[in-house]
Chain A
Amino acid sequence: MSGALPVETRGLIKRYGRIVAVDGVDLVVEPGDVYGYLGPNGAGKTTSLRMLLGLIRPTAGSARLFGRDPLVQGAKALDGVAGFVEGPRFYSYLSGRSNLQMLADYDEPDSRARIEEVLEVVELRDRAKDRVGGYSHGMRQRLGIAAALLRSPRLLLLDEPTTGLDPAGMRDMRELVRRLAEDKITIMLSSHLLYEVEELCNRVAIIRKGRIVYQGALRELMAATTTSYVIRAGDPERARTVCLTQTGVENVAVEDGVVRFSADEESVAALSIALGQARIGITALTPERASLEELFLGLTGGESSDHDRAAVAS
């Protein structure tokens, strides 16, 4: 079984009455991947992860972890797998250490011997004797990672690990994920933040309204996506006119005194020359990070909805 893929789902479907939360998802996570599961809130990420962890039953299709189906093999399918969905939850009336001691007793083999080590990894050792009820959101999140690491996992499933953290907490969490990835743990993490996935992951699946709209290397996707640029120029109107005459420069608009357009790199280079020749002084020409929404636009041929926009904006 060791040769089996860490994660493989086929035609995974979850329906709640008329609502289809996950609609035929096929995912493949390979050993060593840091796999980003990207999508706006409500797209079906958490529901997919719940099915992987055996917490909910798929309406149809199958989910396998290292070749084992949690629906068929129960908790044994989680051998070598750890993680959390929708934020880790603990017994608030027990200390952090007690919580871990309890979870260690729920592990096979018993993972008690690793408690101090994992507390060290997530830098919670000083607070381990305190009740979890007094922990900050970030500390709970870190305790969640510690609880997962107790199991010496070969695969970590993390649902929005940075959500709700302050900027420093987010940075620490990403740093932690990077370190774990260096330790040869395969990681699948969900996120609604494109830049986070860009920063951490080598491969991604993008889910939207329960369906996978892209799966593969993120870099290829980004390269294929036309990027937005902003020009600050002394005379935006004239700059706009020049932009309009350039091939490969599209969606030109002047907003708040800056010119926005989308183009590939080659066209941008040509544009900069054209602007110079037209004697239009520019103070800035900057690429804008593609948003999740723009990726969707690229992937779905312009079909979009207010729902996505709201989700991405939030």
Chain B
Amino acid sequence: MTAVARIYRWELAKLLAQKRTYLGLGAAAIVPVIFVVVLLLQTGGPNDVPLGRYIRDTGLAVPFVVLFFMSIWGFPLITALVAGDIVAAEHHNGTLKTILTRSRERGEVFAGKVLAAATYTMIIVFAMGLVGVVAGSIAWGFHPLTSLSGTKVSAGHGLALLLASLAIYTLPLAGIAAFGLLLSTVTQNSAASVVGALMWALLMQLLGVLPGTESFRPYLLGTQFEAWHGFLRVPADWAPVVRAVWVCALYILLPLSAAYLVFLRRDVAGE
């Protein structure tokens, strides 16, 4: 095993030993369940959101609708909870100096942390998707899905579209994680980093709805949470997907590069 792989494994082990990981994962998993339960108890529904009208047609529609609602602050918060903590907590507990005085280079330690934060981000999105499909299917069955173009797609195909959508949805979330990691590295303060990353996400959303922002709206991080709509059109509209990939790459790589440079040179001293 390479050095980074070993560090990555321990970073995951550390996440698995911490309450906030389960808090985030639990929140991501419980939201679709709450959604389904509320919709079972109520008539009417989220008719003005993508696929909202079809939510009682098939369990497959549930995660898509939840994706919309959780993009505003739910997922950003859950993501920031871990990404904002991953360096700052080690600084706060003094364990950073413990692991930096072994044989691993700082860059390797940083890479392990980035991979762990990315893994967590991916897992919360897919956990929500899985729980959403299962809970929705229990309530309304696993039936064909109505696409955004109004055509029916088979349940199997719909599931594949869901997986692709979850994957592309992970990208802007990773952008928030990267920003949280940067704050975590720079401020060395967990709470400030979590709140800061959430504020960043909200700012991106806010800019997206203000008048006068139309010209750069396609390049805002918040807009990329809608990139999955492209998969749900027949035929598929690749433009938002492709844009999400490169726009998110910038939102991920710029803060990560900055965080990397800071982490490499930073004085690791007491508080």
Which one of B64-72, B103-111, B139-147, B195-203 is at the interface? B103-111
Q: Mark A61-84, 1 if CB is under 8 A from B, else 0.
A: 000000000000011101100111
Interchain CA distance A92-B89 in the complex, whole Å: 12
B93 lies within 8 A of A89 (CB): yes
Which residues of A181-199 are within 8 A (CB) of B? none
Contact in complex: B95, A106 (CB < 8 Å): no
Closest-CB distance, A112 to chain B (whole angstroms): 11
B10 within 8 A of A: yes
Interface size on A, residues (CB 8 A): 34
Do residues B100 and A91 form an inter-chain contact, with CB atoms below 8 A? no
Within 8 A of B (CB), among A147-196: 147, 151
CB of A56 within 8 A of CB of B94, answer: no
Select the residue from A74, A87, A94, A107 with max chain B CB neighbours within 10 A: A74
Provide the bound-state CA to CA distance between A90 and B17, in Å: 13
The answer to whether A55 and B101 have CB atoms under 8 Å apart is yes
Inter-subunit contact A74/B106 (CB<8 Å): yes
Residues in B neighbouring A93, C-beta threshold 8 A: 17-18
Is A249's CB within 8 Å of the partner chain B? Answer: no
Contact A55 B268 (CB under 8 A): yes
CA distance A212 to B9 in the complex (A): 44
Contact between B98 and A75, CB atoms less than 8 A apart = no
Q: Are A106 and B7 in contact (CB under 8 A)?
A: yes
Q: Which of B17, B95, B97, B102 contacts A107 (CB 8 A)?
A: B102
Q: Are A57 and B267 in contact (CB under 8 A)?
A: yes
B17: chain A residues at CB < 8 Å are 91, 93-94
A50-B268 CB under 8 A given contacts A82-B101, A88-B98, A106-B102: yes
- A106-B99 contact in complex given A92-B93, A93-B18, C-beta closer than 8 Å: yes
Give chain A residues whose Cβ lies under 8 Å from the Cβ of B7.
Answer: 105-106
Indicate if A86 sits at the interface (CB-CB under 8 A): yes
Chain A CB within 8 A of B270 CB: yes
A91 vs B268: C-alpha distance when bound (angstroms) = 17
The smallest beta-carbon distance between A259 and chain B, in angstroms, is 45
B17 nearest CB neighbor, chain A only:
A93
**Residue B269 lies at the interface, judged by CB distance under 8 Å to chain A:** yes
- Answer whether residue A292 sits at the interface, using C-beta atoms and an 8 A cutoff: no
For A151, the chain B residues whose CB sits under 8 A away are: 102-103
Query: For B243, what are the chain A residues with a Cβ–Cβ distance below 8 Å?
Result: none
B12: min CB distance to chain A, Å: 12
Interface residue? B262 (CB, 8 A): no
The answer to whether residues A106 and B265 also contact, given A78-B103, A86-B94 and a CB cut-off of 8 A, is: no
If A102-B10, A106-B6 touch, does A90 touch B101 (CB 8 Å cutoff)? no
Those of B1-39 within 8 Å (CB) of chain A:
3, 6-7, 9-10, 13-14, 17-18
B103:A89 contact, CB within 8 angstroms: no
Closest B residue, CB atoms, query A74: B105
Interface string of A183-222 (1 = CB under 8 A from B): 0000000000000000000000000000000000000000
Q: How many residues of B contact A (CB 8 A)?
A: 27
A85 at the interface (CB under 8 A from B): yes
Judging by beta carbons under 8 Å apart, are A55 and B265 in contact?
no
Q: Which residues of chain B are within 8 angstroms of A92 by Cβ–Cβ distance?
A: 93
Residues of B within 8 A of A79 (CB): 103
A101 to chain B, nearest CB (A): 9
Once A75-B105, A94-B17, A106-B103 are accepted as A-B contacts, the answer to whether A84 and B98 lie under 8 Å apart by CB is yes
Asked if A108 CB lies within 8 Å of chain B CBs, one says: yes
Give the nearest-CB partner of B99 in chain A.
A106
Instruction: Give chain B residues whose Cβ lies under 8 Å from the Cβ of A89.
Output: 93-95, 97-98
Q: Which residues of B contact A91 (CB under 8 A)?
A: 14, 17, 93, 95
Q: Using Cβ atoms and an 8 Å threshold, which residues of chain A touch B14?
A: 91, 94
B6 close to A105 (CB less than 8 A): yes
Residue of B nearest to A151 (CB): B102
B270/A86 in contact, CB under 8 A: yes
Distance in angstroms between the alpha carbons of A246 and B10 in the assembled complex: 70
Instruction: Give bound CA distance, A108 to B18, whole Å.
Output: 27
A53-B9 Cα distance, complex, nearest whole Å: 25
Q: Which residue of B lies closest to A57 (CB)?
A: B267
Cα–Cα, bound, A87→B6 (Å): 26
B28 to chain A, nearest CB (A): 22
- List chain A residues, Cβ under 8 A from B101: 53-55, 78, 82-84
Measured CA separation A105–B6 after assembly (Å): 6
On A, residues with C-beta under 8 Å from B are 46-47, 50, 53-57, 74-76, 78-79, 82-94, 102-103, 105-108, 147, 151
Binding site for A on B (CB under 8 A): 3, 6-7, 9-10, 13-14, 17-18, 93-95, 97-106, 265, 267-270
List 8 additional A-B contacts (Cβ < 8 Å) besides A87-B94, A108-B3: A74-B106, A82-B101, A84-B97, A86-B270, A89-B97, A90-B98, A105-B7, A108-B104
